[in-house]
Homo-oligomer: A and B are copies of this chain.
Amino acid sequence: MGEKGFSYEAAGVSIERGEKSVEMMRSAVARTHGSEVIGASGGFAGLYALAGYEEPVLATTIDGVGTKVMVANALGRHASLGADIVNHCANDVLAAGARPHIFLDYIASGRLDPEAVAETVRGAAEACEKLGVALVGGETAEMPGVYSGGEFDIVGVCVGASERSAVVDGENVRPGDAIVGLASSGLHTNGYTLARKVVMDAGISYDDSPDGLGSTVGGAYLAPHRAYVEEISVLRNEVEVRGMAHITGGGLPGNLPRSLGGCGARLDVSSWEEPPVFDLIRSLGNIPDDEMRRVFNLGVGFCVVVAEEDFEKAVGILSGAGCTAWRIGAVAEEAGVSFE
């Protein structure tokens, strides 16, 4: 436990300010606790009864939201960071074929702002509730000297489970299969060092609303990372999904191959719609296409690989579930991702 750390159950003791927001955080966390959560309060570990699997495989992931926290800090808006970290982690678990069950977070700073912590955790709890995920543990640490000024870092962990036979690892992917891209909500949680730099270098404020963006720069940058749990669950009930990729740091070239069982991909860049925030970054920073593709998701937050004859059905099901989707390319025999 970090110095002056407090866990949720002890938050009332250690937090001197912001009692109302701490109370709201506490009740938001409690709403994520169904009957699976056993005596979570006061224990040394969060306890969760895992039922319904014959041969359970646990899928676990740990991640941060990168320097998106610095944008949130600059704007004093922390609510969406909670959704960012939950949805990022849940999508990683999802990409392995598992259903997310449990979430934990860690928030550390040189000097903890209880209001910002409570707002972040409340956002995380609300995102968990939407996904049917239990928030069973959290740790906050105050470490003067490790963190700069008022900056803080947030780390999330998701534990999911899958029936062993339902794990998706790309083994059944074949050349000629269709790659379906699911629309992202913006930058998600990647590329913020570059995204922040181009705005700073151009002397633009987060409060500015450049033509065509449809929002302030800050608003576009803080758009929460989208979760695909519900859409993918509906899709997998109807269509055989052979591979799944969560498009995070590394972009499509860095992540798509991880889902293709050794194959590669040919993508048609005209096949999907790029949110305007990416063109703003591209033109402000004069960033080459190649770098844009390796740093950002460019509008595709998640990919599924299906048989070519299933792609129309898949796109229809995803659209029906509220997620814009496109056939963005095909699986190729040779490794690597090419853009046409």
Contacts and interface: CB of A to CB of B under 8 A. Distances in A.
Interface of A: 1-5, 38-39, 42-51, 55-67, 69-70, 88, 91-93, 95-96, 98, 101-102, 104-106, 108, 110, 136-139, 141, 143-148, 151-153, 155, 157-161, 164, 167, 169, 189-194, 244-246, 248-250, 258-259
A232 to B, nearest CB: 13
B137 A62 contact: yes
Number of copies: 2
A57 B46 contact: no
Contacts of A67: 2-3, 143-146
A146 B151 contact: yes
Contacts of A191: 3
A82 to B, nearest CB: 15
A67 to B, nearest CB: 5
B148 A147 contact: yes
A248 B69 CA distance: 29
A138 B58 CA distance: 16
Given A3-B194, A5-B66, A49-B58, 14 more contacts: A2-B67, A3-B191, A3-B192, A44-B61, A50-B50, A50-B57, A51-B55, A58-B101, A60-B136, A60-B157, A63-B139, A67-B145, A69-B146, A146-B152
- Does more than half of chain A's interface fall in helix, strand or loop, or is it mixed? mixed
Contact of A66 (B51, B143, B159): B143
Contacts of A65: 2
A258 B207 CA distance: 47
Nearest to A191: B3
A167 B129 CA distance: 26
Contacts of A96: 43-45, 47
Nearest to A96: B45
Contact of A98 (B45, B93, B104, B158): B45
